[in-house]
Structure 1
Amino acid sequence: MECSVCKKPTNQRCSRCQAKYYCGTSCQKKDYSNHVLVCPSRSADILIKNVLDDLIPTKKAVRYEYGFCNCVRSGDESKLMGLYIGLIKIIGCSASQLHSWWKSDTLAQNIKKAYDDAGYTSDYYKWFLKNENVLQGLRKYEGEKSDKSLTEKYLELLIPYLSLDDVKVPLKSIPESKRNVYAFYITILSGRIPIIEDIDWIDLGFCSCKSSNDSLRKSKERRLADLYQELIIQKGCKIDEFHDAYLSGSIVDLLKRKCSSDNCNWLSENKIEIRGYNQSTKSVYYLKQYALSESAELQPSVDVDYGFMNCSTEDEKSQLKHIYRKLIKTPRFDPRDLHEACLAGKIFDYVKSILPDEVLKAELFKNPYPLEDI
């Protein structure tokens, strides 16, 4: 990556939002007046925005500081999100209150008091009363230090699936492809689905789960995660076997060999595309990731294929992203149809057919296609 200010190569980024890259404190200070407008100083502010947008948090700091990293069973993250939605949207809790409770390590107690004082109850609150531990001992996110403690906690889940050799190998010595598999196993063993920014979301087929809204997208992705749970937990698929399939792009074959025919038929019926490690994939799925996420980066292929290179201002780019997000959430949308329109150089026509009332600039949707035969 490159520094947002001087464009020098760097791997350092804002510890709060994890989105902007800086080569050092000097460049970070130069960009402060601009970046502070889009980077809330507290995780509570970001959580409030996530709740209002009905999106489970993806920022590491928010997830760590407000209990999402402590959710290890299937559906627990959604239930915790439901608890916060009730607290914020219905009871009216502010970001300042949340931050104060979190800072004093009284978040769980004050949430109970807020619900009880308001006389409001819900299935999410009933779940919370039995699972208060998810909000116990919350600490400030400290980047690599916090990530390391979580990694140690989650690596214990992997031991039954590791070979004797891999158990002895330091994590840093494991190749990138196998580290990806480790991370995916932890996600599945914790009962979760990959978040949209994860490479697993692209590589392992979640990006191709067709949807018309967030809840439907999540239900389709949950069904795919359940299939992986069958493979890993019920069938006991070891990491080495999964890794071999991941490298060769043959995960679908692995699923068909080991899992029930009904679940595998669902894969075909829903046209789920599972590519594996460094296998080619349609740029439309990177577009979907960029449009639906608040922090996913704009990939070069998306920049060229879907018109972002035609935008002369950041505001214009933001408007184009909004149009694609609206398109993707429309019931008639199918990413494969948009891919075909892209290759034919007819994105504008396709978008107009799905969003006939949307004001569109045809020149923004131009791309180099169709390519001339050589």
Structure 2
Amino acid sequence: MKCNFCKKPTSYCCSRCKIKYYCSKSCQKKDYANHVLVCPQRSADILVKSVFRDLIPTKNAVLYEYGFYNCVICQDRIMLFGLYADFIKLIDCSASQLHSWWENGELLINIKKVYDDGGYTSGYYKWFLKNEHLLQGLRKYEGIKSDNQIADNLSNKFHSLIKPYLSKHDQTILFKSLPEPKNYICTFYLTILTGYLPRIEQKLWIDFGFCSCRIHGKYNYDNSYKEGIYEHVRPIAGNNDLSEEARLKNLYWELIVQKGCMVDEFTDAYVSGTVLDLLKKKCDNTSWLSASKIETIGYNQPNKSVYNLEQYILSEAVGLIPSVRVDYGFFNCRTKDEEKQLKNMYKKLFLTPQFDAHSLHKACITGKLFKYISSILPNDVLRADLLRNPYPLKEID
């Protein structure tokens, strides 16, 4: 065979794709820009890159092949990622070595061997010794077939998690057969029980008060709601050191897990619009809820459009809805550039410590958006013509 770069005779091929041949590492490196377009990435390559970027991978194949989908609890996924990061950096493990161990079913054995033979120890390894089952029986990702297996596996685990909080009758039926409000509450329970925050694009994020928490400076807007995951799963102890979202999540954890609030009781509070009252009645140290102006939304109750604005600004997955378009000036934009300019202005506004969503809402309904935003961003060149809205509405006789 001939080298794909210099055309010299060679018998060495790319270990990943087994298609392209190279006479030396130098030629392979020089041809990398072309070769990478046709040489498929292995899950091990993506995992190693993710480790050095300090971001948990999101590709289904990686999550499936390296055990992340065996973790139901958010904290377990973080610990597994920490184990891989510890291991890869500890022995300078290459993607090829990692892939070889995985392919031969020797990943679990070699992780233990490296730690035990080297006398290494860490919190991640101690956790791993109690959770070895997460890396047993790892298999190759096979698209839809594997996706169905993942869904069935998670469904069974989720049902086991929430079962203690359901009435005896509800334990015997499928979630989809439950009344709409109760089914919705089950989704929220699973979010809290698995250690996650509601995603910012979800209705849960608005209805259960996370939208009204102060959020300045915490988000990577290109990877909506991914930054801060380590903070959000910290233990309940030391609540004063947590963000408001994390403190609120911990209150819901206390209500559900420690106080044993059943789904029926929580659903009744949601339908009647009294979820905050339930938290204050059952949980400890809730005075900050009023001080921080945390508000929840009951079943079929309207919410302030400022929270939909936050969703649109903070998540690339959320589109611009009519109420936000009218209330916050986007209907004034004549071009995509003007719309982008206005959106970037709101992003900067949200990152400013003085910003308060309640004050922005008040400025909106009184027709004083430009005045309020100018007071928060005094050094910015703002366009008053883009910040006009129909408010205040004339009173109807």
Q: CA offsets, 1:73-102, max 9 Å, x none?
A: 4645566777899999xxxx9xx99xx89x
Partner of 2:340: 318
Query: Residues of 2 paired with 1:134 and 1:165: CA distance?
Result: 32
Shift of 1:201: 0.9
Partner of 1:259: 283
Q: 1:153-168 maps to which residues of 2 (within 5 A)?
A: 153-168=157-172
Partner of 1:10: none
Partner of 2:18: none
Change (3 A) 1:87 1:275: farther
Partner of 2:265: 241
Q: 1:270-349 maps to which residues of 2 (within 5 A)?
A: 270-349=292-371
Query: Residues of 2 paired with 1:311 and 1:67: CA distance?
Result: 47
Letter matched to residue 220 of structure 1 = E
State whether residues 74 and 191 of structure 1, in contact with CA within 8 Å, keep that contact through their aligned partners in structure 2.
yes
Query: Residues of 1 paired with 2:104 and 2:389: CA distance?
Result: 53
SS of residue in 2 equivalent to 1:194: coil
Change (3 A) 1:75 1:317: farther
Q: 1:122-161 maps to which residues of 2 (within 5 A)?
A: 137=138, 139=141, 142=144, 146-161=150-165
Which of 77-86 and 279-288 deviates more? 77-86
Q: 1:1-374 maps to which residues of 2 (within 5 A)?
A: 70-73=70-73, 75-76=75-76, 137=138, 139=141, 142=144, 146-214=150-218, 215=228, 219-260=243-284, 262=285, 264-374=286-396
Q: What percent of counterpart residues are identical?
A: 51
Letter matched to residue 273 of structure 1 = E
State whether residues 79 and 127 of structure 1, in contact with CA within 8 Å, keep that contact through their aligned partners in structure 2.
no
Change (3 A) 1:367 1:69: farther
State whether residues 193 and 225 of structure 1, in contact with CA within 8 Å, keep that contact through their aligned partners in structure 2.
yes
RMSD across aligned C-alpha pairs, in angstroms? 4.6
State whether residues 307 and 366 of structure 1, in contact with CA within 8 Å, keep that contact through their aligned partners in structure 2.
yes
Q: CA offsets, 1:8-28, max 9 Å, x none?
A: xxxxxxxxxxxxxxxxxxxxx
Change (3 A) 1:199 1:361: same
Which of 359-368 and 341-350 deviates more? 359-368
SS of residue in 2 equivalent to 1:164: coil
Change (3 A) 1:237 1:294: same
Change (3 A) 1:164 1:292: same
Which of 213-222 and 318-327 deviates more? 213-222
Change (3 A) 1:273 1:67: farther
SS of residue in 1 equivalent to 2:306: helix
**TM-score normalized by structure 2?**
0.65
**Largest Rg, 1 or 2:** 2
Unpaired segments ≥5 residues, structure 1:
1-40
State whether residues 82 and 124 of structure 1, in contact with CA within 8 Å, keep that contact through their aligned partners in structure 2.
no
Query: Residues of 2 paired with 1:122 and 1:308: CA distance?
Result: 55
Which of 149-158 and 57-66 deviates more? 57-66
Q: How many residues align?
A: 327
Shift of 1:67: 6.5
Change (3 A) 1:307 1:166: same
Change (3 A) 1:281 1:148: farther
Q: CA offsets, 1:242-263, max 9 Å, x none?
A: 1111111111121222222x2x
Change (3 A) 1:344 1:158: same
Unpaired segments ≥5 residues, structure 2:
1-40, 219-227, 233-242
State whether residues 65 and 141 of structure 1, in contact with CA within 8 Å, keep that contact through their aligned partners in structure 2.
no
Query: Residues of 2 paired with 1:301 and 1:105: CA distance?
Result: 56
Query: Residues of 1 paired with 2:44 and 2:392: CA distance?
Result: 47
Letter matched to residue 185 of structure 2 = V
State whether residues 162 and 189 of structure 2, in contact with CA within 8 Å, keep that contact through their aligned partners in structure 1.
yes
